[in-house]
């Protein structure tokens, strides 16, 4: 039930300014690690540069290797680049802008589902403290855009605005391939026993979706081949099933653990009434996140915040929706439901902030140190001391390729599929120590990452510079050595 705000002026003013103030704090905190830039960001930046120059979506210009999750994000950066703007700044600013709009879209989604402004504002403020969203906002990646489009698509699906949902889902698919799964999941949720009714309601949205996505599919298949398009970008770090489960559980429960558990308990308690109310909404707010997590686990990938952030807020939205149904169900008192829901949000914010302070920030600082004091000087050295057609083998290709403007290959990677396919099942250390990469490419420079200093040094591999850095995977102890080698043919 909506609160009469006219009778509570202080609450009305609080609700009016709560989200803008929370957004301001969100910006301030994100600015604290604005220099944190994953290597994948530089991969996208270089791809965007190639798009702006007419060289396609490949990381290394002219290669038939798809290096992006979808075309929309690099196209936006390329548009800024074509206008003479710095692609790095364009990516960073757009990321923060889309993160802000995503928070507002989340407020709109919760308001639509609950018809309660107070609940919507509390949910939106809570999202601004989400550790994973704070970590990803400002990285220059497509995560914030994917989150925004996911929330817009789910809201229109809930409202049965089929054409708008299809358009949002299509744009989401052009940002991340998981958008296709969301589109077909919603189709499945609305599948009628009467096929004629289903076809009449959804033929327009399906045609719109197919028309938008089909253009990209035709281009990508022609430019890169069907296999490149189907493989897409999924969690790349191959891990065991147990590790994949733990990775997903840490991300999900670290941010939305309490809301998730309370929501599941509420669903069990109110199951008969909820299923009669709107089982399709349950499919959106519970089914879709679970399906996505299960897909990542089955793929054997380490699903981090980059992949799960776009669906995590749906858990909180689901809790808000269920709490809004407590009063008409008359199965639980409104006061008990409100206190339980607020406690879940407070616990969620607390655990999320603990993860942000004690895990996310130290890791971001350590990773930034590796990039800035290790890879960046090497990239500039290669740029200033090598011919334009030089080739480089490196464990992280993004920054090296973006700064040096040379062809860069990664032994086992997303970008260099021509390299990674022959080395399937082979470790990075094996590829580097045996020189297996030389059977595929003939580089002029090699960058190696190891716990052993200059382990590849030989008559044919002469060290140029070495950086000793804190190992970002072992924050309490351990160091990693980055060494740039010149290859003597």
Question: How do residues 248-275 score in pLDDT, each as one tens digit?
Answer: 777 777 777 667 777 677 666 666 666 6
Give the C-alpha distances (Å, rounded to integers) separating 109 from 55, 116, 293. 39, 11, 22
Q: Which residue range(s) make up the domain with 158?
A: 5-234
Number of domains present in the structure of the chain? 2
* Of the candidate ranges 231-240, 326-335, 435-444, the one whose mean pLDDT is the lowest: 231-240
- Distance (Å, rounded) from C-alpha 232 to C-alpha 210? 18
Residue 69: what pLDDT? Answer: 76
- Of 201, 219, 234, which closes a domain? 234
DSSP per-residue codes, 194-214: SHHHHHHHHHHHHHHHHHHHH
Examine residue 309 and state whether it is found in any structural domain, yes or no. no
Calculate the dihedral angle through the C-alpha atoms of 393, 399, 405, 406, rounding to the nearest 10 degrees. 0
Average pLDDT over residues 420-442: 72
Write phi, then psi, for 238 (nearest 5 degrees). Answer: -70, 125
Poorest-confidence range of 206-210, 328-332, 363-367? 328-332
Contact in structure between 481 and 449 (CB atoms under 8 Å)? yes
Q: What is the pLDDT of residue 6?
A: 47
44 and 193 both lie in a single domain: yes
Q: Which residue has the higher pLDDT, 297 or 234?
A: 297
User: 355 vs 91, which has greater pLDDT?
Assistant: 91
Report yes or no on 421 lying in a domain.
yes
Among 234, 254, 273, where does a domain finish?
234
In whole angstroms, give the CA distance from residue 57 to residue 483: 29
225 and 372 in a common domain: no
Q: And the tokens for 366?
A: 């350590």
Collapsing DSSP to helix, strand or coil, 466 comes out as: strand
Asked, for residue 428, whether it belongs to a domain, the answer is yes
> What is the pLDDT of the chain when averaged over all its residues?
82
Using a 10 angstrom Cβ sphere, with 0-12 exposed, 13-18 middle and 19 or more buried, the burial of residue 271 is: exposed
- Label residue 24 exposed, middle or buried (CB < 10 Å: 0-12, 13-18, 19+): exposed
pTM given for the model: 0.88
If asked whether residues 373 and 230 sit together in one domain, one would say no
Identify whether 313 is part of a domain: no
Residues 67 and 209 in one domain: yes
Most confident of 200-214, 316-330, 412-426: 200-214
Has residue 47 been placed in a domain? yes
Asked if residues 441 and 391 have their Cβ atoms less than 8 Å apart, the reply is yes
Q: Single out the residue in 234, 257, 286 at which a domain terminates.
A: 234
User: Quick check: is 390 in a domain?
Assistant: yes
Q: Is 86 in contact with 92 (CB distance < 8 Å)?
A: no
Instruction: Look at residue 63 and tell me if it is in a domain.
Output: yes
**Do residues 328 and 334 make contact, with C-beta atoms less than 8 angstroms apart?**
no
* In a domain? residue 382: yes
Side-chain-side CA neighbours of 455 within 13 Å: the count stands at 15
Q: Which helix or strand (DSSP H or E) is residue 172 part of? A: helix 162-173
């Amino acid at each position: 039930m909506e609160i009469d705000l006219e009778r509570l002026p202080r609450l009305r003013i609080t609700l009016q300014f709560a989200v803008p103030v929370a957004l301001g704090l969100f910006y301030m905190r994100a600015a604290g690690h604005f220099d944190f830039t994953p290597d994948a960001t530089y991969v996208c930046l270089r791809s965007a540069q190639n798009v702006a120059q007419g060289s396609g979506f490949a990381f290394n210009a002219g290669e038939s290797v798809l290096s992006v999750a979808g075309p929309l994000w690099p196209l936006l950066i390329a548009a800024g680049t074509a206008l003479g703007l710095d692609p790095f700044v364009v990516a960073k600013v757009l990321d923060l802008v889309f993160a802000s709009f995503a928070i507002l879209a989340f407020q709109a989604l919760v308001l639509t589902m609950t018809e309660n402004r107070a609940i919507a504002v509390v949910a939106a403020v809570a999202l601004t403290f989400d550790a994973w969203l704070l970590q990803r906002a400002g990285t220059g990646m497509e995560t914030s855009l994917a989150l925004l489009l996911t929330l817009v698509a789910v809201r229109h699906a809930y409202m049965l605005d089929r054409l708008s949902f299809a358009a949002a889902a299509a744009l989401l698919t052009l940002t991340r391939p998981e958008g296709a799964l969301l589109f077909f999941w919603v189709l499945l949720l609305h599948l009628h026993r009467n096929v004629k009714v289903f076809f009449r309601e959804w033929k327009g949205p399906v045609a719109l979706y197919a028309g938008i996505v089909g253009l990209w599919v035709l281009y990508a298949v022609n430019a890169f081949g069907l296999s490149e398009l189907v493989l897409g970008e999924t969690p790349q770090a191959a891990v065991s099933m147990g590790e994949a489960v733990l990775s997903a559980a840490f991300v999900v429960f670290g941010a939305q653990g309490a809301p998730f558990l309370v929501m599941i308990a509420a669903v069990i308690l109110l199951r008969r009434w909820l299923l009669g109310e709107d089982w399709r909404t349950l499919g959106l707010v519970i089914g879709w996140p679970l399906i996505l997590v299960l897909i990542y686990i089955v793929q054997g990938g380490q699903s981090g915040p980059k992949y799960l952030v776009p669906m995590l807020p749906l858990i909180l939205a689901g809790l808000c929706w269920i709490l809004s149904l407590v009063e008409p169900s008359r199965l639980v008192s409104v006061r008990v439901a409100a206190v339980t829901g607020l406690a879940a949000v407070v616990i969620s914010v607390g655990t999320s902030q603990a993860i942000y302070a004690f895990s996310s920030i130290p890791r971001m600082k350590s990773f930034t140190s590796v990039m800035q004091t290790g890879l960046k000087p090497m990239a500039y050295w290669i740029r200033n001391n090598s011919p334009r057609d030089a080739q480089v083998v490196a464990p992280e290709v993004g920054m090296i390729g973006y700064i040096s403007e040379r062809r860069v290959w990664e032994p086992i990677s997303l970008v260099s599929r021509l390299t990674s396919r022959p080395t399937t099942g082979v470790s990075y250390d094996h590829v580097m120590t045996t020189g297996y990469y030389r059977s595929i490419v003939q580089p002029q420079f090699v960058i190696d990452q190891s716990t052993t200093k200059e382990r590849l040094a030989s008559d044919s591999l002469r060290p140029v510079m070495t950086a000793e850095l804190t190992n970002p995977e072992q924050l309490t102890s351990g160091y990693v050595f980055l060494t740039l080698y010149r290859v003597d043919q």
